[in-house]
Amino acid sequence: MNNIPCVDLADFLSDDPVRKQKFVQEIGTAYEEIGFVSLKNHFLSDDLVTRLYTEVKSFFALPTETKKKYEIEGLGGQRGYVSFGKEHAKGKKEGDLKEFWHFGQEPSKDANLTDSYPSNVMVSELPEFNATGMETYRMLEKTAIYVLRALALYIGMEENYFDHWVSNGNSILRPIHYPPITEEPKGAVRAGAHGDINLITLLMGASTGGLQVLRKDGVWMDAIPKEDELVINVGDMLERHTNNKLRSTIHRVVNPPKDQWNTPRYSIPFFMHPRSDMKLNCLEVCVDKEHPKAYEDITAGDFLHQRLVEIGLIKK
């Protein structure tokens, strides 16, 4: 396998039960084997993608002192700006060579949430920045819900099992800027090898390559989607909830060859998180004699807090 498998969401959305089951089987098998797929026929339009990248590049081009006024203390980086080198991979000391922004959930009035989310941070210099970001957020959230419906069927649950937990969930849209590399990085990479914390991650096509996925045989493989495809991978929460049936695969963003150091990279992942009170206990349908329960019971909120401490966004 030289690239990640490609699946077509139009199959799942069709009225043909054979096509729908084909999608369920293809994506489920891919997530058992490699943990990554590329997805075509999602809900993001080309126009929206173009507008978002325009806004994102304009924000990161602002002076550092302007950006830093949007770095809000006490939020653990969950909203607004996170400056260069603040985050690192779990178990790694060197900060990643990136800066990023977080858009978060704006729950519906009837959400009946047990927890409250911080407000999104408004960027006064760019009047379309927040609206464009949240429009993208909604389209990626919609896409993610359908992917989780397919995975619910694959593992033997009711199709809408995840709907309540991810609608109004604690999801994050993260535009990332990897600036040009100006000197030898001394052990740091654009994003160190890591597994994602959440249920699933949807990644809009990055402006340059660099994303690599660790195969079962220990070989790093380039993930190269087509321009109109999303890369979607399983996160640690879903791996845990399915008792390791669906795999959260280690991945990284490597530094470019030295002759391309002057090229910035932009990447925009959407991290699908559930509500904080969702129990991530191993599902009974995923536990048997050959696959005994592998994890202690924990809620999504407690698991997220643990991991944010481990990657340096929250202090102990």
CATH number 2.60.120.330 is the correct assignment for the domain at 6-310: yes
Q: 206 pLDDT exceeds 80?
A: no
d(CA 115, CA 301): 9
Tell me how far apart the alpha carbons of residues 82 and 229 are, in angstroms, rounded to a whole number. Answer: 27
To the nearest whole percent, how much of the chain has pLDDT over 90? 62
Q: Which residues contact 35 (CB under 8 A, 6 or more apart)?
A: 213, 233, 234, 246, 247, 248, 249
Strands 172-173 and 265-272, sheet pairing: antiparallel
pLDDT digits (tens, 9 = 90+) for 56-101: 999 999 999 999 999 998 877 889 999 886 654 455 455 567 899 9
More confident residue, 32 or 192: 32
Domain boundaries in the chain?
6-310
pLDDT of residue 111: 78
How many CB atoms lie under 10 A from the CB of residue 219?
A: 10
In the block, tokens 């293809």 appear at 26
pLDDT score recorded for residue 207: 43
Please give the distance of CA 92 from its chain centroid, rounded to a whole number: 20
Q: Which residue has the higher pLDDT, 55 or 228?
A: 55
pLDDT digits (tens, 9 = 90+) for 238-290: 999 999 999 998 888 776 566 666 778 788 999 999 999 999 999 999 999 99
What local confidence, expressed as pLDDT, does residue 261 receive?
Answer: 66
134 closest CA partner among 101, 100, 178: 101
> What is the pairing mode between strands 6-8 and 36-40?
parallel
